Structure 1
Amino acid sequence: MSRHYLIGRGEQLSSAIDAIKGGGGSKEPVYTFEESQERLRPELHAAVQGLTTDKRLAPNDVHVMQFVLHPAFIAKSYHPSTLINSAGLSVVGSKPIRVRTDDQPDASERYTSSLLVAGTRGSFRNLDVMLSREDPPDGDGNRIGQITRIERISGYSLADKLHETPGDHQWHELVLHRVNEHLAPDNLNDFLVLAGDLGIEVEDQLNFQTADLLYLPIRGDEADIRHLAEYSTVRAVRPMPRLKLEPIGDGVTRQVGRPTRLPDRDPEIREPPAVAVFDGGIPESNPLTSWIGSYVKANPDAADVPQYTSHGLAVCSALLFGNLNLQQPPLHTRITAVRVLDDDTRLDDPLNLYKTLGNIETVLEAQRFAYVNLSLGPDTPIEDDEVSAWTSVLDDILSSSDTLLSVAVGNNGELDDASGNNRIEPPGDAVNALCVGAADSEGPYWERAPYSAVGPGRSPGIVKPDILAFGGADGDEFQVVAPGATPVAVGMKGTSFAAPNALRQAIRIREICGSAISPLAAKTLLIHSAESQDSLAKKEIGWGRVPSDATSIVTTEDGSAMIIYQGKIRPGKYVRARIPIPTGLNGGYVTLSATFSFKCKVDPQSPDVYTRSALEITFRPNMDRHKPKKQYPNTGSFFTSKGTSGLYSTEEESRKDQGKWETVLHNRRRYRSTTLVRPVFDIHYNAREMGSSSNDSDDLEYALAITIDAPKTPQLHQLILDQYKQLVTLEPILGISGGLA
């Protein structure tokens, strides 16, 4: 049986099309204006009454309240921004929340958004005056008429801000809203003055700013920190998480080393990609000298730490060779070892989390790498209502760089499930990264390694980890090289090795197919090819286990063909991507598998609407089939299903069930070959900012992988190339065996 290489230039089958009219429109209010007056004015009065009168706690007399949206009105087109702005108020963020609504008091709680709204005491009173009018507004689009979309109003209390998470209870991480300077010009200065008056140490030079949030390390007595948290624009306070360097710690084994022979160093490919490992550096004496092109120390004034360099060497080994037991071809690309951990970031230093992230940020912004591995991070599970500084900083950098970052999701998988302590750790929830968990085997029978952290991520970003790769198991440890000039293999286990093991397959794809494959396309192909198991939940394995042989990712057998599309789309625009189903199929069934992925800007102050971009995909299986009097060909389910409300599902259903606003969409479906007539995906780029409309004008880069399986047509690959002249086979620059072609 023949094998066929990946078909490229799928974007040549795509073209811009006119906007497609949707089936949405205005929605009937759940409450009348009079009902909203009766329900919300007492809540607003109580919230205003509860505002602090201590001027030290409210910069420029600015306070923050919560406006909870009714679940029927969480779509961006229903955002009550006109009402909020007309009262002189400003949305500074939001949180996910589940509520039981007044219109359905006996129903179960439903998912919605709680808007964090800032304004002066006078502005909140302005809103009350607007609500006091006796004549109802004209239409739901009227600014005050938007009040009918709000379910409840309340203050933002101390209890909402304090997070009891594991960590250092002397040092805390405080998150401050960076309020509009016209609204609260003294926000930061007044905060620092109050902290000084309370005797609280603030490391204001060691901070991170992402979007409209400021992350600050603080230290002080518990009572004083609670008082500081009452400052009106403080969003959250939690004990400072510890930095965890896997596999240092529980759940990891180390065997007695055994001599090993490393693969021969093959010639480098032409124009190799820039590859880096961000970790603890490498020891002076190591057997990887010929594979490591450069050694970068983020803090050149600090000294090495043997514990860290041993870990960094092991991760470099996993990236270069995979599990040494398998004797796979090594990378043809020399890598850069970047030391971000040193004696200035000791594990017993409560500020090492910030220092290490600062090192990572400095190097990522100074140097361009196409592929980067990160096998360390905060030792704390993610939270649904807050985004870690690690996640928000890295997502922000990745949103505008052509870098594929693989991240280890954590080794806390055997902790308590009910409390969520076994959930993925930051930045394993990053939507612009490839977040990797560990599988317990490289054989045909596998599952999540018990130590590997579980999902889900937040919504959006719900499918986490993205994929699994082998990371070692009891009795079948992951073999890596140990320090020393002579190659010695030692066995370890941890997601620290699963992450580079997965990334090496992405780099191998690039080495085999050449620069025609972008890092984003390589990520798409990893997810597209992941081996799933119906018996295992997505929160355990994500999209599945990545194959351990990169050639199987970029090749198909007779009766199958895979096409990669790499395109761009402007906000609000539509692109039609043709699926190259050739004429001359020999009947039977056709299975389509498709994976979209993209990177986008994020709003860390609004974790419930974290991603600013969505690709809304409409599948049209037969371009010749229309319903009577309908302008467009019929649609078919592919990534989505019809909502319970009818043909057009609600935003709530889309968030929960259909992956709207997710950065990865993946599915496969089976069709009779006769039902597929010039099928297409219509792609619409939808943009938002903090849940409302966006003025973003940047193009969105996306990648799409499609596999067509038609078992009764063994010549499928050639039929596609013959009938779609725009497409080309991406002939390998590396042979199947791993040598230079």
Structure 2
Amino acid sequence: MPNNEQFLLGYGERLTDRVAAPGGGGPPETPYSFDEAIKRLRGEVRSTSNALEGLPGAACPGNEAVAALTLHPQSLAKSFHPKKLLDNYGLRQVGSRPTELVPEKWTKKEEPRLSPSTTLFVAGDRDRFNDWAEEMSSEPSGVDPVIQRIEAISPFLLEDKLRNLERAEETLGGLLVEIVLHASQTSRYVVDSFIEYASSLGVETRSDKAIFASGLYFVPTEATEAQLSELGKFSFMRAARPLSKMRSTPQVERSSPLSSEYTSTLPPKEPVDDSIRVAIFDGGFPSSSPLAPWVRSFTTKDLGAAVPELEDHGHDVTSALLFGTLEPGVSPRSPLCEVDHYRVLDDASGTDPYELYDVLRRIKDVLDQNEYNFVNLSLGPSVSIEDDDVHPWTAVLDGHLADGKTLMSVAVGNNGEHSDSLSRRIQVPADCINGFALGAADSSRAGWAKAAYSATGPGRSPGYVKPDVLDFGGTLTEPFLVYQSNTPGQLAWTQGTSFASPSALGRALSMRAHFGDRLTPLGIRALLVQSADHREQERREVGWGRLPSNLDEIVSCGDGQVRVLYQGELHPGQYLRARLPLPSEELLGKVGITATFCFATETDPEDPGSYSRAGLDITFRPHSGNFKDESAVDPKTDSFFKRGDWDTERALRTDAQKWETTLRASRSKLGRSLREPVFDIHYNARSNGGMAQGPKAIPYSLVVDVESKRTADLYDRVANTYAGRLEALQPIVAIPASARARIS
């Protein structure tokens, strides 16, 4: 290893300080006057109350019902949330759903146009809805002024609950569907009432398979269309949608042995770091495999017999994580660590319609009982994500990943060649905002593109940029090579996102093995995103880009370059000023700055449009000596993270980007325009789209690259300027030459 290696600089958090909040302006203009709002909505509140009164008593647990309240498109900020209005009538929000509408009027000069908004689902005693209607008619002056920010109020209609039932599988008993209720562990009376109501209609719910996730309850059910129409009257029912199945092992991912002349000698059996804990959840691992010395195989509870085809898939996924794609005639480097492989599939796979609930529960039980910093999922439900509802797999796994202590790589699916654009979208749970969604590139060489089979984005907002990145996944012309499961050293070829995902996780393991726990899982994720190359390809195709195969491109700096990693915590309401790593001397010519922010957060699955509970307002101040005027306290701002960098395909709510858990952008500035540049970072906390009560601190990571082609010694200058604060992250284990040349 060269003595003059310029490894990335760590401890960037030492360049941060808390600062006071900047001054704000006055309250924004409301779209309607108070009198206009009362006049517009008086009749809607009355008709909603009447409709709720017309529901069957058995469909309203505790005499409670749910109505839909749609916000004006200009009133989506958490400060405009109508909680006080709801509190006045004993009502509460139980969920929400993103929507689009043309408002009757707005404060902009142009004519109102189709715009994104949010419909809140509001629950309470039916008598209190009537009280609201009475006050709107008799004493409207007592109504909270936030009524001016509401566009419409209506019952939660049946047609908004029955979704895509034409796609549901038909059985002798009706349609196989998933019922979603607005109910949490603390509102079991809603679940009990629903089960009783369903039974009265002759519908048996599979409550033994049901799953709670935050404020939602998911239960598989078999019912006729007529029964579903009656079930839809249950006031807390959010949706009835087709029951999804687990992904089968597609033909594209079934490995085929190469001829005996293609071999790769197995490496020494000692792993680089036996303290790293990584788990794979898949179809099982054959005990006769030559990879057995590096694998601890577990069978989760309540499993039937193993299936050889599924075990082969699990074996190939494990080979991809341990070694990446192999090269004939070349022995790979020693495995970075041992792998815990959990079999979660059995001989019921493909035949049990309720399998996905059992598989998710098996995964959750393992994660609840064990601490893993790294996890791979190359399986999941065979269903593309939806914009306005969250799948139980996504909700449960995002909840586990909310502390930022686990990097979970998730294969996005091999449905990228589907004729329907919606069906080509990434598959659940690749939409986890705290997960790391992997698509497949068609080559490990230059000139690569997305593999045709690899699913496409965008993800849901927040979580819009999905897949996060691509890694090589193999094609027919450039296959992904794995070890055969029964003959030591013999190779097989395959392709699929199932192998791109563990291969990328292997890159993360390599960084952890060589640099130790100074790199957190969240910091590793930020470094991977920062180093991905998108080659100017569409975000929905490649996410942030393809990962480099050369480890040096992630952890080393060349001439005229410096990379700094910041890792720490953000506290609610805090303004943190992060100084960017520029030397004290002015730089000549153009200076490139690239930054990636990653953070982990708790989520609200019942509120897809307000899914993340945390968000960042990031303000760039490039020059400490430039002020707007003499009274200004803080230097002038300039744009850095712009909506146009990531949202080029559809109109999204204007504050959407702040709630994204991953942001990356690049800017080019003249050296003379930069002096002590900083990011001012404000952590916003919300809950169910409104103000948060008792929000938690969140972990974050930030990677900043600075490039100055006219400053060959930039790395040394920055290291000298911040000596004693920034430190080069030297490997604790030497990086072998094979890792420098290629890690796949």
Contact 1:92–1:179 (Cα < 8 Å) also in 2: no
Contact 1:604–1:610 (Cα < 8 Å) also in 2: yes
Return the letter of the residue paired with 1:120.
Answer: D
Pick aligned residue for 2:376 from 362, 373, 378:
373
**CA deviation map 1:212-262 (0-9, x unaligned):** 1111111233322332232110111112101004xx225456434334224
Return the letter of the residue paired with 2:660.
Answer: E
Pick aligned residue for 2:112 from 103, 107, 112:
107
Return the letter of the residue paired with 2:124.
Answer: G
Aligned to 1:474: 476
Contact 1:66–1:117 (Cα < 8 Å) also in 2: yes
Q: CA 1:35–1:410 in structure 2 vs 1: closer, same or farther (change >3 Å)?
A: same
**CA deviation map 1:649-689 (0-9, x unaligned):** x993232xxx2100011011111111111111111110000
Deviates more, 1:49-58 or 1:538-547: 49-58
Contact 2:592–2:669 (Cα < 8 Å) also in 1: yes
Aligned to 2:641: 639
SS at match of 1:686: strand
1:414 aligns with 2:451: no
Deviates more, 1:687-696 or 1:96-105: 96-105
**CA deviation map 1:405-463 (0-9, x unaligned):** 00011111111344x11111110100000001111111110111111111111111110
Deviates more, 1:434-443 or 1:253-262: 253-262
**CA deviation map 1:441-489 (0-9, x unaligned):** 1111011111111111111111011001111112222112232142332
1:677 aligns with 2:682: no
1:553 is displaced (CA, Å) by 0.9
Q: CA 1:180–1:431 in structure 2 vs 1: closer, same or farther (change >3 Å)?
A: closer
1:268 is displaced (CA, Å) by 3.2
Aligned to 1:499: 501
Contact 2:73–2:116 (Cα < 8 Å) also in 1: yes
Structure-2 separation of matches of 1:262 and 1:435 = 31
Return the letter of the residue paired with 1:125.
Answer: N
Aligned to 2:344: 340
Return the letter of the residue paired with 1:728.
Answer: E
Return the letter of the residue paired with 2:176.
Answer: W
Aligned to 2:732: 733
| Unmatched runs of 5 consecutive residues or more in structure 1 | 138-142, 644-649
Return the letter of the residue paired with 2:155.
Answer: G
Q: CA 1:384–1:586 in structure 2 vs 1: closer, same or farther (change >3 Å)?
A: closer
Alignment of 1:50-61 (within 5 A): 50-51=51-52, 52-61=54-63
Q: What is the aligned-residue identity percentage?
A: 36
Contact 1:212–1:605 (Cα < 8 Å) also in 2: yes
1:636 is displaced (CA, Å) by 1.1
Pick aligned residue for 1:698 from 696, 699, 706:
696
SS at match of 2:731: coil
Structure-1 separation of matches of 2:391 and 2:587 = 53
- Where in structure 1 do 4 or more consecutive aligned residues deviate above 6 Å? none
**CA deviation map 1:142-170 (0-9, x unaligned):** x5211111101111111111121645344
Q: CA 1:135–1:283 in structure 2 vs 1: closer, same or farther (change >3 Å)?
A: closer
Aligned to 1:212: 215
Contact 1:210–1:392 (Cα < 8 Å) also in 2: yes
Structure-1 separation of matches of 2:567 and 2:28 = 37
SS at match of 1:50: helix
Return the letter of the residue paired with 1:225.
Answer: L
1:210 is displaced (CA, Å) by 1.2
Structure-2 separation of matches of 1:379 and 1:330 = 35
**CA deviation map 1:542-569 (0-9, x unaligned):** 0000112223211121111111000111
Aligned to 1:65: 67
Aligned to 1:602: 603
Structure-2 separation of matches of 1:239 and 1:393 = 19
1:193 aligns with 2:196: yes
Q: CA 1:585–1:731 in structure 2 vs 1: closer, same or farther (change >3 Å)?
A: farther
Structure-2 separation of matches of 1:346 and 1:211 = 28
1:13 is displaced (CA, Å) by 0.9
Q: TM-score, normalised by structure 1?
A: 0.93
Pick aligned residue for 1:239 from 238, 242, 255:
242
Structure-1 separation of matches of 2:362 and 2:654 = 41
Structure-2 separation of matches of 1:281 and 1:390 = 20
Structure-2 separation of matches of 1:270 and 1:740 = 15
1:300 is displaced (CA, Å) by 6.5
Pick aligned residue for 1:127 from 127, 132, 135:
132
1:365 is displaced (CA, Å) by 0.5
Alignment of 1:287-366 (within 5 A): 287-292=290-295, 294-299=296-301, 302-325=304-327, 329-343=333-347, 345-366=348-369
Contact 2:257–2:484 (Cα < 8 Å) also in 1: no
1:69 is displaced (CA, Å) by 0.4
Structure-1 separation of matches of 2:179 and 2:74 = 33
Q: CA 1:665–1:108 in structure 2 vs 1: closer, same or farther (change >3 Å)?
A: same
Q: CA 1:651–1:342 in structure 2 vs 1: closer, same or farther (change >3 Å)?
A: closer
SS at match of 1:201: coil
1:94 is displaced (CA, Å) by 0.5
Contact 2:244–2:381 (Cα < 8 Å) also in 1: yes
Return the letter of the residue paired with 1:707.
Answer: D
Structure-2 separation of matches of 1:453 and 1:185 = 38
Return the letter of the residue paired with 1:28.
Answer: E
Q: CA RMSD in A?
A: 2.3
1:87 aligns with 2:92: no
Contact 1:331–1:508 (Cα < 8 Å) also in 2: no
Q: CA 1:635–1:641 in structure 2 vs 1: closer, same or farther (change >3 Å)?
A: farther
Aligned to 1:74: 76
Alignment of 1:302-701 (within 5 A): 302-325=304-327, 329-343=333-347, 345-400=348-403, 402-418=405-421, 420-534=422-536, 536-584=537-585, 587-628=588-629, 629-640=631-642, 652-655=653-656, 659-701=657-699
1:280 aligns with 2:283: yes
Return the letter of the residue paired with 1:37.
Answer: I
Structure-1 separation of matches of 2:481 and 2:729 = 33
Aligned to 2:648: none
SS at match of 1:376: coil
Return the letter of the residue paired with 2:583.
Answer: P
Q: TM-score, normalised by structure 2?
A: 0.92
Alignment of 1:134-283 (within 5 A): 136=141, 144-164=144-164, 166-169=167-170, 170-178=175-183, 186-245=189-248, 248-252=249-253, 254-259=255-260, 260-265=263-268, 267-270=270-273, 272-283=275-286
Structure-2 separation of matches of 1:596 and 1:674 = 26
1:45 is displaced (CA, Å) by 2.2
Q: CA 1:542–1:618 in structure 2 vs 1: closer, same or farther (change >3 Å)?
A: same
Contact 1:163–1:237 (Cα < 8 Å) also in 2: yes
Structure-2 separation of matches of 1:523 and 1:252 = 26
Deviates more, 1:316-325 or 1:218-227: 218-227
Return the letter of the residue paired with 2:131.
Answer: N
Deviates more, 1:2-11 or 1:540-549: 2-11
SS at match of 1:4: coil
**CA deviation map 1:73-115 (0-9, x unaligned):** 1000011111111111111011100001111695321001001
Contact 1:200–1:225 (Cα < 8 Å) also in 2: no
Structure-2 separation of matches of 1:461 and 1:489 = 37
Alignment of 1:5-84 (within 5 A): 5-23=7-25, 25-51=26-52, 52-84=54-86
1:201 is displaced (CA, Å) by 2.2
Structure-1 separation of matches of 2:275 and 2:229 = 53
| Unmatched runs of 5 consecutive residues or more in structure 2 | 646-650
Contact 1:596–1:665 (Cα < 8 Å) also in 2: yes
1:198 is displaced (CA, Å) by 2.3
Q: CA 1:168–1:301 in structure 2 vs 1: closer, same or farther (change >3 Å)?
A: same
Deviates more, 1:456-465 or 1:32-41: 32-41
Structure-1 separation of matches of 2:139 and 2:212 = 45
1:281 is displaced (CA, Å) by 1.3
Structure-2 separation of matches of 1:191 and 1:200 = 10
